[in-house]
Structure 1
Amino acid sequence: MSRRVWFVPPALNASLRQARFDDGAALDEAGRAAARAAASSLPTPALAVVSGSRRCRETAGLLGLGPATAPDALAAPDTGSWRGRTLAEVSGTSPEDVGRWLGDPEFRAGGGESVADVCARVSRWLDALDGEAAVPDGGLVIGVVEPELARAAVVHALGAPLSAFWRCDVAPLTVTELSGRGGRWNLRCGRPLVGEN
């Protein structure tokens, strides 16, 4: 069965603007306005999913995605003791750890998850969509997910090495589109929700 999956990173909030590891902050007013402006550009999906973070849930609601499920596989990455700290703060106290995190896909950020862990769970979720009865053949799945999950999906779709994870820039409120079946995915990256579709 053919599937279409759109990954949409959340609108901006103060944490994303500060390069802060998710601290549960709400969207800021600019982020809410951007999400509301983008709402009319999304079609109705066969299935809506969301990362469980507050910014993703709020973005999904403002985009009009209605009831969205939050599969464990699409949870925000666990950054352990780094949660709530800025990248600059962590770099100032643990520069070696930041270097390892950016260079070694097996390194566990702040004692939490590694890039390899995140990529593995997103890959399993994507591959399981072939058996998902809730999504008809050709049906669209829209997920409002943390940017790291969209990166993981790109790595999986391309069969790229895990080192490619940090080479993918994923902007807020853009669409990373996958289409395919049987573990083979095609990719279209970075289309803005507002504007050209």
Structure 2
Amino acid sequence: MTSRVLLVSPASSPALRQARFYDGFGPLDPSGAARARAAADSLPRADRAVRSPGARCHETAAELGLDSDELPELATLDAGHWRGRTLQEVGAAEPEALMRWLTDPESAPHDGESVQALCQRVGAWLESEGQEDGRTLAVVEPEVVRAAVVHALTLPPETFWRLDVPPLTVTELSGRSGRWNLRLGRPLADDTTPANSRRPGTGI
């Protein structure tokens, strides 16, 4: 039995462009929505479609023409009291806390969720998908893509921030529970969107 999990990152949004810790609200920007619509025909066939909670994954899935189920286990990293703030704002107000969070995967100075906890949560979902035959297409936040790759390849959690996930790209994992192969992210369609999801944070 072989499972395929295709992780699609959401289209661009103001929060993404502003390097803002995502709070689950806020729509896609018009250019992001247009690119998602244009990419709909390039989606591979899937046996089931799921998505992260939050407005931009919901809108991306809709623009891609997907009838998807929202799964709480695919929620983006909970940034606690940093939600809604930009990386620059947090760095100015809490520089030591921000540095600790970026360097220690078990740290959660924002009183939210640590990177380690996120990787474990997403990893548990991925292992459950590894018991299913066929193909799952998941529209998920960039942090969920990173966490899935860290788990699938048994990478050290410190590598989490070194994985770039541009908007509207596909990262494919294939295999079965306990053993996964990675096909590196590719754009759904020709896209000139800057790869500006390189900054850390929920939606950053």
Aligned pairs (5 A) from 1:45-194: 45-66=46-67, 68-132=68-132, 137=133, 139-194=134-189
Q: Structure 1 residues 194, 48: CA separation in 2 closer, same or farther (over 3 Å shift)?
A: same
Cα distance in 1, alignment partners of residues 29 and 8 from structure 2: 18
Shift of 1:44: 2.8
Aligned length: 190
Greater share of residues in helix: 1
Q: Following the alignment from structure 1 to structure 2, what is the Cα–Cα distance between the partners of residues 56 and 64?
A: 12
- Does the aligned pair in 2 maintain the 1:82–1:109 contact within 8 Å? no
Query: Aligned-pair distance for 1:71?
Result: 1.7
- Aligned partner of 2:22 in structure 1 is 22
Q: State the TM-score, normalized to the length of structure 1.
A: 0.93
Matched, 1:39 2:40: yes
Q: Give the TM-score normalised by structure 2.
A: 0.90
2:196 counterpart residue number: none
Unaligned ranges ≥5, structure 1: none
Per the TM alignment, residue 195 of structure 1 is displaced from its structure 2 partner at its CA by: 4.0
Q: Which runs of 5+ in 2 are unaligned?
A: 192-204
**CA apart distance, 1:73:** 1.3
AA at the equivalent of 1:110:
H
The answer to whether the Cα contact below 8 Å between 1:45 and 1:140 also exists between their aligned partners in 2 is yes
Question: What SS does the aligned partner of 2:174 have?
Answer: strand
Aligned residue identity for 2:118: V
Query: What's the secondary structure of 2:126's corresponding residue?
Result: helix
What is the Cα deviation at residue 12 of structure 1?
0.5
Q: C-alpha distance in 1, partners of 2:177/2:140?
A: 23
2:110 partner SS:
helix
Tell me by how many angstroms 1:130 deviates.
3.2
Structure 2: distance between partners of 1:159 and 1:144: 22
Structure 1 runs (4+) greater than 6 angstroms displaced: none
